[in-house]
Amino acid sequence: MGRWRWRYWPLKAKLLFPTLFTSTLGIVLVCASLIVVENENYREQLESELQVIAGILAEQSAAALLFEDHEQLSNIISSLRKIETIKQACVFNASGVLMSALYSSDDTSCTNMKAQPELGFVGDYYRLSQPVTLYDDTVGLIYLISHLEVLKAHIRTFIFLALGIGVLIQLILVFVAFKLQRVVSHPILELSGAAERISLAHDYTIRAPVYGNDELGRLGTTFNDMIGTIEQQNRRILESRDGLERIVEHRTSQLSLANKELEAFSYSVSHDLRQPLRAIEGFGRALEEDCERLLDETGKDHLRRIRAASVRMGGLIDGLLVLSRVSRQPMESKRLNLSEMLQDIAEELIDLSKPLPTEVHIQPDIWVVGDGRMLRIAFQNLLENAWKYSAKEQVRLIEVSATSGADYITIAIQDNGVGFDMRYIDKLFVAFNRLHTPSEFGGTGIGLATVNRVILRHHGKISASSEVGEGARFCVSLPVGD
């Protein structure tokens, strides 16, 4: 059904249809009006012929009527036999008495004129009444009935002829219209074909042929100009893309070089720096153990400080290594139960920490997708922070909850610790930035930077909110994954 709608028609049909519809309508109307006119004309002709015949008959039969010469009357009207259309001819005298009659084979009697029969074209017959007059005296009446078979046959022939000519003209018009529509449709089809080829092959060197200087010609020229512009722009885009690719390649190689240097640096840090540090620490301990008696209290204090600093530096180096590892290490994503992981971490922390009344609530069955080792580092840091900053409270309260969205699952870690000032939120996730002094709370300043790096590598987000003394809330959003 839908295929027959106008908008699905091909252009050729759209061009042909209105032309042919109009011409068909025109031909039909012309034929119909010709037929009507011919019918009228033929009727009038028939009428006037019969009137002439009746007039002649009246003139001829006047004398015979007066002298009541039946023989002569029948002679006169028998001449009508030659006229095939006459069905009945009756001659009445002045007093309405039938004087003579002529019937065709299937007819029998004359109409009674006193009944005043309807005249003119009635039904299948034409009826005519012609008074016979002589010097203004009516001496009789001639009544003629003509059947209309000749008229009908004539009109039938005329209709067939008109239809035949109409069909012939229509055929010629179809032929001509078909030829002419190509003049219009050919450039459009060429244009459409060119557009399709360009669209399919993405070949912007193709041009549509341009015919003439009319609207279609201008359309073709404009189309070609547009394609030319697109071709140029496409070339420029491709060139700049190639340029960009070269730049990216260059930068990538630079980046990988830098990465290698960083790895080398990390390696140096982990091994080269650690060795002297272990020496400092080891010899410091040896000094403490072996020469404790030789040192006074000041010396011992200095020694203790050296050892503490070297321990802290070892922590820093470890932290940096972890940060570097989480940045470079390839990810192995899988689905895992975060609640269990957090529970493990919390139990480890409870074991390690000082006996402070601690309440940890972890919402069960939080499932996330990610690299288990990295996530463990991140959440270990977050829980350690919560642990650390709530160490000075009467009771430690830590709550982990999760809310699922369409694309993300958000895990919130809430503690009742000291919190932080929201003014410094910008510095919170930057390495080596600390919001508390080491004397208040120990730490390297690398933990949250590492957490941030892990979450970013998981395409997640991290945010924090707090008020000083009111605890802190860290929210981690991770993509749900497939």
Partner 1 sequence: MAGGYFLLFSKFLIALALCVSLSFAHASVLSEYEVKAAFFYNFTQFVSWIPVPDKKLPLRICVLGDNPFGDLLQPLVGRKSQGRTLELANPEDLTAAVGCNVLFVGSSNLRNLPAIIATAQEGNMLTISELPGFIGRGGIIGYVKQGNIIRFEINLQAADAAGVSINSRLLELASRVIQ
Contacts with partner 1 by CB under 8 A lie at 59-60, 62-64, 66-70, 72, 134-135
Query: Least distance from C-beta 49 to partner 1, angstroms?
Result: 23
> Looking at beta carbons only, is 28 or 98 nearer to partner 1?
98
> Looking at beta carbons only, is 37 or 97 nearer to partner 1?
97
Structure tokens at 314: 């070892």
Query: Least distance from C-beta 63 to partner 1, angstroms?
Result: 4
Beta carbons of 410 and 477 less than 8 angstroms apart: yes
* 414 strand-pairing partners: 399, 473
Query: Least distance from C-beta 73 to partner 1, angstroms?
Result: 10
Beta carbons of 140 and 92 less than 8 angstroms apart: yes
User: What does R_g of the chain's alpha carbons equal in angstroms?
Assistant: 58
Pairwise CA distance, residues 171 & 52, whole Å: 44
> Looking at beta carbons only, is 61 or 324 nearer to partner 1?
61
Beta carbons of 396 and 465 less than 8 angstroms apart: no
Query: Least distance from C-beta 74 to partner 1, angstroms?
Result: 12
291: left (phi over 0), alpha (psi -120 to 50) or beta: alpha
Query: Least distance from C-beta 153 to partner 1, angstroms?
Result: 36
460 CB-near residues (< 8 Å, 6+ apart): 408, 476, 477, 478, 479
105, amino acid identity: S
DSSP result, 296-312: -HHHHHHHHHHHHHHHH
> Looking at beta carbons only, is 132 or 338 nearer to partner 1?
132
Query: Least distance from C-beta 64 to partner 1, angstroms?
Result: 6
> Looking at beta carbons only, is 21 or 67 nearer to partner 1?
67
> Looking at beta carbons only, is 69 or 393 nearer to partner 1?
69
Query: Least distance from C-beta 69 to partner 1, angstroms?
Result: 5
- 155-180: b or e for each residue (b if 16 or more CB lie within 10 Å)? beebbeebeeebeebbeebeeebeee
> Looking at beta carbons only, is 71 or 289 nearer to partner 1?
71
Query: Least distance from C-beta 75 to partner 1, angstroms?
Result: 9
Q: Is 66 exposed, middle or buried (0-12, 13-18, 19+ CB in 10 A)?
A: middle
> Looking at beta carbons only, is 138 or 240 nearer to partner 1?
138
Phi, psi of 122 (to 5 degrees): -130, 120
Q: Closest Cα to residue 388, out of 431, 441, 351, 453?
A: 441
Query: Least distance from C-beta 83 to partner 1, angstroms?
Result: 21
> Looking at beta carbons only, is 62 or 161 nearer to partner 1?
62
142 CB-near residues (< 8 Å, 6+ apart): 54, 57, 58, 61, 89, 90, 91, 92, 129, 130, 131, 132
Structure tokens at 133: 């007059």
> Looking at beta carbons only, is 57 or 326 nearer to partner 1?
57
Query: Least distance from C-beta 109 to partner 1, angstroms?
Result: 18
134, amino acid identity: L
Q: What residue spans of 291-396 are helical by DSSP H?
A: 297-328, 338-352, 372-389
